[in-house]
Structure 1
Amino acid sequence: MKPWERVTQACTQRGIKPTARVLLVSIDGGTLQLFRNAQLVKSYLVSTSRRPPSNQKGSLGTPRGLHEIVERIGSGQPIGMVFKGRVPTGQHFSELPLSEQGLSGATDSPGSGNLITSRILWLGGLEDGVNRGGDCDTRSRYIYIHGTNHESRIGQNFSAGCILMRNLDIIELYEEVRTGDLVLIE
């Protein structure tokens, strides 16, 4: 089945009309595709969790299913800006000590040293009991699409559940999408 057909099928099954802009994230393929009016606009290389996909709280897995962008954060911030608690810190990731960047040695903690940089697209699930509500709520798990200080690792699975992009890519994508746009993660 072609990518856009998978989007329309997922929307039809859930009784949701596709938005003008839709993001399709392939966990296995490590890609994020941007569609506008059912046409593929661009495909990006991304990283997802190093753990198996999961919608459960505490799993650190990338959640599957139909989502929407619930908030766009970081407009106008410079490339590489670090965010903590969704607030810009005023520092580029290169200005932080190597230990905070996860560059001073390996750790076993998923996402360790992986900073949230440049832009944030905060996701909210649209499927009750699957990725919305209770112990499977994507929004309350703080699952984002965001930039990273580890751009050389994009394409590898190394996040703690978020979808990671190169900084220039997330800035470009951020300018294309709006709150309410659909995101299918499969």
Structure 2
Amino acid sequence: MGLRNLLDRLAAVFATDAGPDVDEERAARLADAAADPAVTATALSTPGDRTRYPLVAYVDDGEQPEYLFRGGTLMVDDGDSLARETPTRELAVVVTDSRFLFVVGGRLSDSLFEVPFEDVVTAYVDDEDDRTYFVVEGDRDGDELTFFADVTMDPRPDALRAAAERAESVPE
């Protein structure tokens, strides 16, 4: 078997992965109830330039997406080291009614990072330089993580600030 045959067989295996089933009616209901007009049924139900799988696949039952932002690189700081998550597709930041989701789009799979609101220490927008970062600091059982999502390509500072304030407005 030549290299070309091997690559063709591997491509066929990966190409059959259609991912999770998408309930387009659910995506439409979620989009209608969202605070941010960027949360559309199409944005939730269609994979593409952002992620390998539709974003609605990452939203739990009973959870409401409120904001959606496009981004570039995601940096994750655990206090000891800084990891740079560079998507091969695109970073999507989804703010729901209960958590922050950072979906790093990849060719073969997506990477999902989440911070439930009860674990948020602070969330804010850092736009004092040429770049704009959506920053979420979390503490889960003493494990501190800080997420820096480069959202420079999403020029909606008011929506970013409103999304950052979501964690503070949720009753405990």
Place the TM-score, normalised by the shorter chain, in its bin: under 0.3
Structure whose residues are more often helix by fraction: 2
The normalised TM-score by structure 1 is: 0.24
TM-score, length of structure 2 as denominator length: 0.25
Which is greater in Rg? 2
* Greater relative contact order structure (CA < 8 Å, 6+ sep): 1
